[in-house]
Chain A
Amino acid sequence: MSAPSTVRRAATSLLLACVCAAALSACGTKQDAVSAPGTKPFTVMLDWFPNADHASLYTAIAHGYFNTVGLDVHPIVPTESAEPLKLLAAGKVDMAISYEPQLLLARDEGLKLVSIGALVQRPLTSIIALPSAHVRKVSDLAGKRVGTAGIAYQEAELHTALQAAGVSPGSVTESDVGFNLVPSMLSGKVAATLGGYWNYEAIQLQQMHKNPVVIPIDHAGVPSYNELVLVVRSEEARTDGVDLRAFMQALTRGEQQVRAHPAAAASLIAKANPSVQEKLQLASIEATLPATLPSDRTKPYGWQEPAAWAAFGRWMFTQRLIHSDPDSAGLPPFTNEFLAGQGI
């Protein structure tokens, strides 16, 4: 055998060995859910990258509250906000964190899903503007350009807010800026945005000393709704009541822990999502605390107000976002029966 061919064979073997090693190690990175003994695996798909809104969930996981009630909870990060309900309906996850409007849309499309608790009581979605845009109130948007995330119900929220302020929606130019809400304001491409949260983007801008003007959409004429809800399949809500009640019980303990030690919760979020700044998470958790408990203090954590759900469902129906009024069509889109002190 000639020398070059020996070299070639050796090189081939080496390359194959490297590739096989890479292949094997890649297989090893598959993150399969391995549960603690005696607990049941339970996957929860988040609405977005781990952030302050998930403080109670990550705190309950870290403190073993879910393990205590027999659940081994694994959070999954989605790639876009409509994905969690799709994968939930497909049976790929046990629970999804989503938005009340998104749930009503999914149910309108025939998905058999139901909300079993509110993570955040009121809308976080806000109209946000920088001082340089001279937008102090909604009516100042007339003749200006507003960036949105391209979500139909948020555009309807903008129209309702404009109409409530006596501005014709036609006089405002809307631009879909995807998730570049803040950069598009900073670069001056849009005067304001709708889609950013008062507990997140607004605080980010505040921490950058930009003094943003923030108008939560429920202060601008849009009926209030639960921004983040915990959604399960209707079937499981009927059959797995024990697990769901246990989940809510552990999550409630997580929420109490967050309230007592917000900084510890912020550090857990930063560990789960290395991209976020702990300082922002802490500020965000503290800002969100008043919105995590129902305004009626006799009601438990997670409470969903039937009258508010009915009013918001009707608003979505009148905006032609959904085909029928959820209040008059079939079973309600939410249930409080798994919350502390509720149920049969």
Chain B
Amino acid sequence: MTPEDPAPHARATRPPTPPTAPPKASPRHVVARILQYLPAVLLATALLGVWEAYVDLGSVSPIVLPAPHEVAGEAWRNSGLLASNLELTAQEVGLGVLLALIFGFVLGVLIHLSPLLRRAVYPLAVGSQAVPVALIGVLLVFWWGFGVLPKLFVIVLICFFPVVVTTVDGLASVDPDQLKLLRTLGASRWQALRFGELPAAVPAALSGARIALAVGVIGAYIAETSTATSGPYAGLGHQINADINALQTPRAYAAAAVLFVFAIACFYTLALAERLLAPWAHQPRGEIR
């Protein structure tokens, strides 16, 4: 076998691919799908009910805690403002998390390949998670001004870590027999990585990506509230702080609710993308659906 023809390795080592064709949408399937979401809907409704009762029956000021119906009313009345700010925040999250995934994955692979790099970089990567962003906000603005760059940096700083950790663990978890087989077949280090370790690491790396995306939303809040900005629309995080300051607590809660739903939407969109991009990573093993 020549190095120019690596495909047989791939066929030999890639885990079996389950059929990806979605089941036909018969009425029974539709009902089953709706029933799947029932526990989440019931729990959310119950929590909202407790919250509503707590505010209505207690004497808590709406500035301290607004009732869910007030929050919903504010969301309805300010849908335009919330949409403008969500658009900005969503762009920051999308781009920031993408950069974090690339950076985190590449760093994870490099750490896996080089024990020296592992010793040098890993402690610093762990330490980076303890850096208070408020401390470096001014520095980031000093470097990159009042636009989107300082915010992206903050999101990458917050999101890259879970990707690094899960990638490194995933690369280390490859079946040693598979690597032995690859070596027997004369695979180079690169080929062993490409056809043995990387496919095995993908499920773990994707878990890291899901964590990164969920954390990315709060990362965007931190980014927007720790770096100075110009213009009246500067994202939901900025709006929440401006609302809190203006005692518009119900609207701040409405903005937070939008972030809440956005984080859930991002998480499940990525889960869906995973099924399409890496179906072999979706063996039924207690997956989150």
Most buried by A among B137, B138, B149: B138
Chain B residue at minimum C-beta to C-beta distance from A277: B246
Interface presence of A75 (CB below 8 A): yes
Chain B residue at minimum C-beta to C-beta distance from A83: B138
| Residues 113-148 of B at the A interface (beta carbon under 8 Å) | 134, 137-138, 141-142, 145-148
Ranked 5 nearest A-B pairs via Cβ:
A30-B147, A275-B242, A26-B91, A11-B276, A22-B94
Q: Which of B91, B95, B242 contacts A273 (CB 8 A)?
A: B242
Interface presence of A45 (CB below 8 A): yes
Give A76 to B238 CA distance when docked, in angstroms: 13
Q: Which of A77, A86, A187 contacts B138 (CB 8 A)?
A: A86
Interface readout for B59-78 with A: 1 if CB under 8 Å, 0 if not?
Answer: 01101100000000000000
Q: In the complex, identify which listed stretch (B40-48, B211-219, B229-237) lies at the interface while the others stay far away.
A: B229-237
Contact A29 B88 (CB under 8 A): yes
Q: Which of A83, A208, A272, A273 contacts B228 (CB 8 A)?
A: A83
Q: A186 → chain B, closest Cβ, in Å?
A: 4
Chain B residue at minimum C-beta to C-beta distance from A281: B246
| Residues 238-263 of B at the A interface (beta carbon under 8 Å) | 238-239, 241-249, 251
Interface presence of A298 (CB below 8 A): no
Interface presence of A56 (CB below 8 A): no
Residues of A participating in the B interface, judged by any CB pair closer than 8 Å: 4, 7-8, 11-12, 15, 18-19, 22-23, 25-27, 29-32, 45, 48-50, 74-80, 83, 86-87, 90, 92, 179-180, 182-183, 186-187, 204, 208, 271-277, 280
Residues in A with CB closer than 8 Å to B145 are 92
Residues in A with CB closer than 8 Å to B91 are 22-23, 25-26, 29
Give A19 to B93 CA distance when docked, in angstroms: 11
Q: Which of B138, B229, B244, B248 contacts A179 (CB 8 A)?
A: B244
Contact A277 B248 (CB under 8 A): yes
Contact A87 B276 (CB under 8 A): no
Chain A residue at minimum C-beta to C-beta distance from B242: A275
Contact A23 B243 (CB under 8 A): no
17 contacts between A and B (CB under 8 A): A4-B20, A11-B277, A15-B277, A23-B91, A25-B91, A26-B152, A31-B229, A32-B147, A49-B246, A79-B228, A83-B137, A83-B138, A179-B244, A183-B61, A275-B239, A275-B245, A276-B242
Give A19 to B96 CA distance when docked, in angstroms: 10
Residues in B with CB closer than 8 Å to A50 are 232
Residues in A with CB closer than 8 Å to B88 are 29
Contact B228 A87 (CB under 8 A): yes
Q: Known: A187-B61, A274-B232. Is A204-B98 also a contact (CB below 8 A)?
A: no
Give A86 to B180 CA distance when docked, in angstroms: 59
Q: Which of B137, B138, B149, B245 contacts A49 (CB 8 A)?
A: B245
Known contacts A12-B277, A23-B91, A80-B134; 17 further A-B pairs (Cβ under 8 A):
A4-B17, A4-B19, A8-B20, A23-B94, A25-B91, A26-B92, A27-B148, A31-B147, A48-B245, A49-B241, A79-B226, A79-B227, A83-B228, A90-B138, A179-B244, A274-B233, A276-B246
Residues in B with CB closer than 8 Å to A19 are 94-95, 98
Residues in B with CB closer than 8 Å to A179 are 244-245
Residues in A with CB closer than 8 Å to B241 are 49, 79
Q: Known: A4-B279, A8-B279, A32-B147. Is A183-B228 also a contact (CB below 8 A)?
A: no
Q: Which of B20, B229, B247 contacts A77 (CB 8 A)?
A: B229
Residues in A with CB closer than 8 Å to B19 are 4
Q: A217 → chain B, closest Cβ, in Å?
A: 21
Give A171 to B20 CA distance when docked, in angstroms: 72
